[in-house]
Amino acid sequence: MNGLFSAPLILAVCTHSSFADLVKRTSAAEVVIVVNSGGWGNIPIERCPEVLPIVKGIADYLDSCGWRVVVVPFSRAPVDSPATTPSPITQLITVAEMLSIHHSRARALVREIESLVQRNPDLRFVLLGISNGAVFVDQATGLLSPLADSRVVAIEIGPPSWHGRYKAENILQLDNEGQDPLTQGKFEEVFASLLGGFMKFAFNLFTGNPTRFEEIWHIPGHDYPWEAIRHKVCLFLSQSFN
């Protein structure tokens, strides 16, 4: 037990390598929550305050419904340590996938899911994506075969507006009731927050306290506290897992 969750949930930290082996070692699991954080998608869950409460809320709800759950973060950036900033080449590859120029990591995730579904047809998946992670989840969901698609639901939180969203009954997309400037394409607000983030980043660097840029860049309206989305998420899950 990791100590982060009250539900009987296994938290397996996944790097760029396959997470299928991790899931297979948890043979008692009935639902796999695959977590894709924002940014480069390589920050551990315990360092993502915007993600951790949502993951815990979903896991606790499914546990209360009698499902045995395993949480597996999926790293989109192939780095040695999830705590480090990806190399420029990796950043370029990751951005290219965000812009749908290629789908290499999304296809890798789909292969993992379909391999697990073939071995265990009763296994279910919740693909959870935040911000850039929501774009990735949307791309992966659109690539699933019909068999795997029937075992997967997706929760996409705050997907940026530049990505055309894949619409399906097994996808829940949240945009703060239209108040999220990133999902609505209000780029003047996004740019203002980006400028503020650069100023904080430069100040921290100058004062000898360097931080990851994505940890201090904050877009007002791009917040999704669990209590604000709990009803919609739990209703969606109850309808999907009936």
- Give CA torsion, residues 77, 49, 45, 206, to 10 deg: 50
Q: Who wins on pLDDT, 109 or 75? A: 109
The number of C-alpha atoms within 13 Å of 18 and in the hemisphere containing its C-beta is 13
Pairing of strands 10-11, 31-36: unpaired
For the cut 80, the answer to whether the pLDDT of residue 66 exceeds it is yes
Q: Looking at residues 145-163, what average pLDDT do you find?
A: 88
For the cut 80, the answer to whether the pLDDT of residue 112 exceeds it is yes
Per-residue confidence (pLDDT) for residue 1, from 0 to 100: 33
**How many CB atoms within 10 Å of residue 131?**
26
Per-residue confidence (pLDDT) for residue 155, from 0 to 100: 97
Helix ranges, the chain (H)? 20-24, 52-64, 88-98, 104-119, 132-142, 146-149, 181-184, 187-206, 213-216, 226-240
Cα–Cα distance, 230 to 207 (Å, whole number)? 39
Alpha carbon distances (Å) from 47 to 35, 154, 169, 215, 222: 13, 22, 31, 9, 18
Per-residue confidence (pLDDT) for residue 5, from 0 to 100: 46
* Least confident piece of the model among 36-40, 74-78, 156-160: 74-78
Cα–Cα distance, 21 to 197 (Å, whole number)? 38
Q: Who wins on pLDDT, 135 or 84? A: 135
Per-residue confidence (pLDDT) for residue 38, from 0 to 100: 76
Note whether 148 and 113 are within 8 A (CB).
yes
For the cut 70, the answer to whether the pLDDT of residue 95 exceeds it is no
For the cut 80, the answer to whether the pLDDT of residue 11 exceeds it is no
Give the chain's mean pLDDT: 76
Q: Who wins on pLDDT, 41 or 206? A: 206
What global pTM score does this model have?
0.77
